Amino acid sequence: MTAQIFAVGKFQPNDRTVQQELERSLSLLTGETIKTTAAGRTDSGVHACGQVVSIKTDSSLPLSAFVRGGNSRLPRDVRIVCAEPAADDFNARYSALRRHYRYYITTRQRALGRRYAWYYWHSLNANRLQQAAGCILGPRDFKSFCQKNAAVNHYMCHVYKARWFILDGYICFDICANRFLHNMVRSLVGTMVEIGAGKQSVDHITEILDAKDRSSAGPTAPALGLFLIKVDYNQERDK
């Protein structure tokens, strides 16, 4: 049986990872050596509330047991939301068509939620932020927004959606693309925040893309504000 598991949890620093926790829990549950394939990897400190993981198992346990039994063996900051059967050729990473990320910024200090948003004390211009986001739509080379010396075959990504908006008092950035490079979203956010704060012109983001050089882009935004929200496996795109 191939099972498709929807997991929620945050990736931890140091050596502890969601993948390790899931594999340990599911191996104890099934009595097999379970290897997981996730829809995407995230940096330490980045959160995921829409991660998808695929596994292969010969277990005859009902799918509901993977949720209840898996969660009973997981730490409290990692949860399996649901489990579904999948085709034998399904791969959580390579079958994915689009991934959605959201970044949270707060311009005021908070006691609650401080671990899940970047506190940025300068004012940000909403129009400038959105204009900058429009510059990255479509298929583009994002080498300037990727960690240097990344082990990738190419830097092309197709961005389907990029928008800034206000949600529950947070300044949020949503982005959807077919693939993401290492540090790509955080580098984009750090650069666009400089534009929104008036430190750079809106046209600067196009110049950065053309440069294909990470040193030309702005700072990398902190990991704590970034969330993997959703992974798409069908052809219908969000409007």
Q: Which candidate in 15, 43, 77, 213 is catalytic?
A: 43
**Bridge partner residues of 106 (DSSP):** 119
Q: Which of 153, 134, 156 is nearest to 145 (CA)?
A: 156
232 labelled catalytic = no
Residue matched to tokens 């063996």: 73
Residue pair 30/69 in contact (Cβ under 8 Å)? The answer is no
Q: How many CA atoms within 13 Å lie on the side-chain side of 4? A: 18
Distance CA 140, CA 137 (A): 8
Q: Where are the alpha helices (DSSP H) in the chain?
A: 18-30, 63-72, 126-134, 184-196, 204-211
Distance CA 231, CA 39 (A): 7
Pairing, β 226-232 against β 47-56: parallel
Distance CA 123, CA 223 (A): 21
Report the residue count for the chain.
239
Distance CA 153, CA 174 (A): 26
Indicate which residues carry an active-site annotation: 43
